[in-house]
Chains A and B, each alone.
Chain A
Amino acid sequence: MNMPLLRLSQVSFNYPDAPCLLKELNLTIEQGSVTVILGESGSGKSTLSRIMAKVMPEHEGQLDGSVYVSDETVGHMGGELSSFVIGVVEDELAFGPANLGVDSMEIERRIDRELMRMNMLDYRLSAMEQLSGGQQQQIAASSVWTMEPQLLIMDDAWSHLDKDAKLLFADALLLWLKESSARALVMILPRVEQRDQSHPLWLQANWLELKHGQLHPTVPFELARSFSTSKGSEGESTIREDRNVDEPWKVAAIKLEDARSSYPDSVFGIQADGVLMQGEAVLLQGENGSGKTTLLHMITQSLPLLHGTASIAGHSLAKLKAHVLARLIGYVPQSSYAMFLYSTVQQELEFVYDSTIAIGQEPNTLWCLANLLDEYDGCSVEKVDPITKRTQGKQDDLRTEWVNNHLELLGLTHRAEDHPQEISAANRRMLSLIMATAHRPHLLILDEPTAGLDERSASALIQYCEMLRQQGTALIVATHDELWDRYAQERSNWHIWMMNNGNLRIHNDEPVIEN
């Protein structure tokens, strides 16, 4: 029998003022094993991983039970995109092994090896802020890997990687495991994509699901299948219905003609051509670092348009005032924390309401969201009356009502006073989406909206987007997630734009092949 590297027995945990998150949980990790822990968003995966790696500060919450971790090194990669220490790629990779007192030549060798593996040799001296989302995640994973731990705990390690990078990563993990029988791997994932299922890494894995604070053995890929079968047929029917509804909106929501932009102090630049009509959606794809986020930065005026023309709903981007642009578009950035301005969820929602009212609009009301979150039923949006004259007091009531309704929809009523950063990833993403769409933008721009979300929340989010599209909103979604792919394949109004090394060429001007 192999030695256990880690053993949790009867572990319970709760954050202050919150219900018990982990309940008398047991887990043993042995040498040479691969363990995959699946779990819905907010089920406590990250919490569990931090407890396993013994990096849960005491003041964070109440921990009971016994945690045994062997003296061998444990590597832990947390889900956050921003947990870097020094901020330069090579230092980041060297930091872990240097702390362990590894010989400098050896450190050098490991850095080279990792950079080679990720095909990022050129980025050795780059600052972390100047890397794309996927590249940051790669570095975060490798900076743990260079420590050559015996037990590797990866929480949400590849949600931002493109599919090739993901496969390479899985290959590398497999190789690493085979090198020594004393090593063990724990992967914590919200879900496994269908196209990855055949990978040999999964064959030897021990599958667990974290649910209601406990770990249960689970059958992998069950969720993934259920989605494709149940959704497929229903999707078809929606198309038929929508066809005629789509006709009225034939204005270009966005039009790019040889539009170019680049970061100051950097040679990386993008060049894009493309037209997107109202009521159409596009998936912006391309490998990590190909310039997707950069393009979105340009559209949101974070980067200047240096050449060519771009217009949004008929307005020239170059001449558009910031607040006019803000009314036309809704934007959810790749790192969702970049969107929050207040310290509580409630204040965020109140601000959204106020600023929408300030431009004379009735905030979007999303009754169907509740259904989406509960089951996958599509539904119609309740049409809200245009603003009628109201007294001030009434207005306040409406505001409270709107905010409370949305809190309820998100299931956050009892957490209204929490920091938006502390709620679970799925709720955070939904909240961002609500914030970005309350003013009914013409163009909705999402950057990796479903990365790190479990299947249910991801499909709810996708459905919600589809609903907005049916109402005439144009959508740009930068993503690597296959869920979107599958969704788009079934629908005629969804297109794919491929970003290739900073160049956007329209992959397929016609609608994607219909099944």
Chain B
Amino acid sequence: MNGRQAVPSIRGKPGWLRRLDPLTKGIWLLCTGLAVMLTLSLTAQLLWFLIVLLIAGTGAGWRLKQWRLFALWALGFGLPLLLFQWLMLPSGGEEPLWQPFGSGGPTLTASALELSAALTLRSMTLFASSIVYATTTEPRDVVVALTQQLRMPDKLAYAAAVALRFVPLLLAEAEQIRRAERLRRLTPVRGVGGRLQSARRMALAIVRSALRHVQDVSTAMEAKRFGSARARTQWRRIAISPVGCLLAAATIGAAAATLVWL
């Protein structure tokens, strides 16, 4: 319960994915995305989805709470999507599996179900892989990778870095403003109108404070001589890890295999 030794770290507990460099992880992400996008076979989609889950399960170091949230989201949009697409996708004139509203109503066929399941799984894989990447990668590492390994110009990479920095900052600030608003309003919000008004008030306040921050940050960057003539030192280096290479290679292989065989 005591202070000093207890230091907040940037994100929760470590997993092996967290230790990978952003670049090879990025390749994994891209290939996974590409593979599921280019195939329509249900087996392939299912396989990819399971692989992503497996990787997340072993490497992401999510806590139970995060898993629960993830599951909730995945089901919350996955199931309705499955049903919706099953209903909407053309049946192709085949024997209906089930006609919920009698013969006149919409039909649900086996082929539509298969297609719908494949499409749903594709969405889920895209979603899951992206979340896994985002939760296991430090934004500042990405900036380092961009400038060092992809040779992106400093200016651009730092614009991105600053943008990234704003995300937690904006969230923190939005939270602060929300609290301030609550303490200053003195009355509970009533009805839709009140809620809208208070939302508008907060949104504008957030935008304004964000704008102010940009000004501050650009002054700070200038004061610290960003972009002065001499070459910037890359004081942090990120090594490409062997595990990362392995993962990237495996994913590329798997993606190729998917495209060829499935």
Interface residues in chain A, defined as those with a beta carbon under 8 Å from any beta carbon in chain B? 50, 53, 55, 57, 73, 75-78, 80, 82-88, 91, 94-104, 107-108, 122-123, 125-127, 129-130, 143-144, 147, 260, 262-263, 265-269, 271, 289-291, 300, 302, 321-323, 325-327, 329, 331, 333, 337-343, 351-352, 355-356, 358-359, 419, 421, 435, 439, 501-503
Chain A residues within 8 Å of B172, by CB: 129
Given A96-B224, A107-B235, A502:B1 Cβ within 8 A: yes
Please determine whether B10 and A85 come into contact, CB atoms closer than 8 angstroms: no
Chain A residues within 8 Å of B231, by CB: 101
A73 to B223, CA, bound (A): 10
Please determine whether B213 and A82 come into contact, CB atoms closer than 8 angstroms: yes
Chain A residues within 8 Å of B1, by CB: 260, 262, 269, 271, 502
Please determine whether A99 and B7 come into contact, CB atoms closer than 8 angstroms: no
Given A94-B235, A101-B231, A355-B186, A343:B208 Cβ within 8 A: yes
A339 to B180, CA, bound (A): 5
Please determine whether B216 and A341 come into contact, CB atoms closer than 8 angstroms: no
Distance in Å: Cβ of A260 to nearest Cβ of chain B: 7
Q: Does B182 contact A (CB under 8 A)?
A: yes
Residue on A nearest B226 in the bound complex, by CB? A99
Given A127-B8, A271-B1, A341-B202, A85:B225 Cβ within 8 A: no
Residue on B nearest A131 in the bound complex, by CB? B8
Q: Does B219 contact A (CB under 8 A)?
A: yes
Interface residue ranges of B203-225 to A (CB < 8 Å) = 204-205, 208-209, 212-213, 216-217, 219-225
19 contacts between A and B (CB under 8 A): A82-B213, A82-B216, A85-B161, A85-B221, A87-B168, A96-B225, A97-B235, A101-B232, A104-B235, A147-B225, A267-B6, A267-B8, A269-B6, A300-B183, A326-B182, A327-B186, A338-B179, A343-B204, A502-B1
Please determine whether A144 and B224 come into contact, CB atoms closer than 8 angstroms: yes
Please determine whether B9 and A125 come into contact, CB atoms closer than 8 angstroms: yes
Please determine whether B169 and A321 come into contact, CB atoms closer than 8 angstroms: no
Please determine whether B180 and A84 come into contact, CB atoms closer than 8 angstroms: no
Q: Count of chain B residues with Cβ under 8 Å from any Cβ of A? A: 60
Chain A residues within 8 Å of B226, by CB: 85, 95, 99
Distance in Å: Cβ of B229 to nearest Cβ of chain A: 9
Distance in Å: Cβ of A12 to nearest Cβ of chain B: 21
Please determine whether A102 and B179 come into contact, CB atoms closer than 8 angstroms: no
Please determine whether B216 and A129 come into contact, CB atoms closer than 8 angstroms: no
Contact of A85 among B5, B186, B209, B224 (CB under 8 A): B224
Given A96-B225, A355-B187, A421-B212, A78:B168 Cβ within 8 A: no
Contact of A501 among B2, B184, B208, B213 (CB under 8 A): B2
Given A99-B224, A100-B230, A358-B186, A126:B219 Cβ within 8 A: no
Query: What 9 A-B pairs are tightest by C-beta distance, nearest first?
Result: A267-B6, A83-B220, A101-B230, A266-B8, A96-B224, A104-B235, A501-B3, A338-B176, A122-B7
A421 to B213, CA, bound (A): 11
Q: DSSP majority for the B interface?
A: helix
Distance in Å: Cβ of A106 to nearest Cβ of chain B: 9
Given A85-B220, A143-B224, A342-B205, A290:B3 Cβ within 8 A: yes
Chain B residues within 8 Å of A147, by CB: 224-225
- Residue among A80, A83, A101 with the highest chain B CB neighbour number at 10 A: A83
Interface mask (B181-197 → A, CB under 8 Å = 1, otherwise 0):
11111111000000000
Chain A residues within 8 Å of B219, by CB: 50, 55, 57, 78, 83
A100 to B231, CA, bound (A): 7
Q: Does B103 contact A (CB under 8 A)?
A: no
Please determine whether B188 and A99 come into contact, CB atoms closer than 8 angstroms: no
Chain B residues within 8 Å of A502, by CB: 1-3
Contact of B216 among A80, A86, A325, A331 (CB under 8 A): A80
Q: Does B162 contact A (CB under 8 A)?
A: yes
Residue on B nearest A323 in the bound complex, by CB? B188
Please determine whether A341 and B180 come into contact, CB atoms closer than 8 angstroms: yes
Q: Does B151 contact A (CB under 8 A)?
A: no
Distance in Å: Cβ of B90 to nearest Cβ of chain A: 48
Please determine whether A99 and B227 come into contact, CB atoms closer than 8 angstroms: yes
Distance in Å: Cβ of B201 to nearest Cβ of chain A: 6
Please determine whether B228 and A100 come into contact, CB atoms closer than 8 angstroms: yes
Residue on A nearest B202 in the bound complex, by CB? A341
Please determine whether B217 and A84 come into contact, CB atoms closer than 8 angstroms: yes
Please determine whether B10 and A126 come into contact, CB atoms closer than 8 angstroms: yes
Interface residue ranges of B138-182 to A (CB < 8 Å) = 140, 158, 161-162, 165, 168-169, 172-173, 176-177, 179-182
Please determine whether B186 and A356 come into contact, CB atoms closer than 8 angstroms: yes
A147 to B217, CA, bound (A): 17
Chain B residues within 8 Å of A98, by CB: 232-235
Residue on A nearest B185 in the bound complex, by CB? A355
Other contacts beyond A83-B220, A266-B8: 8, CB < 8 A: A78-B219, A82-B216, A86-B162, A87-B169, A97-B235, A123-B7, A322-B183, A322-B188
A329 to B226, CA, bound (A): 44
Please determine whether B228 and A268 come into contact, CB atoms closer than 8 angstroms: no
Chain A residues within 8 Å of B230, by CB: 100-101
Residue on B nearest A439 in the bound complex, by CB? B186
Please determine whether A94 and B236 come into contact, CB atoms closer than 8 angstroms: yes
Given A94-B235, A300-B179, A501:B4 Cβ within 8 A: yes
Distance in Å: Cβ of B83 to nearest Cβ of chain A: 36
A69 to B202, CA, bound (A): 43
Q: Does B253 contact A (CB under 8 A)?
A: no
Distance in Å: Cβ of A298 to nearest Cβ of chain B: 12
Q: Does B80 contact A (CB under 8 A)?
A: no
A326 to B205, CA, bound (A): 20
Please determine whether A126 and B8 come into contact, CB atoms closer than 8 angstroms: yes
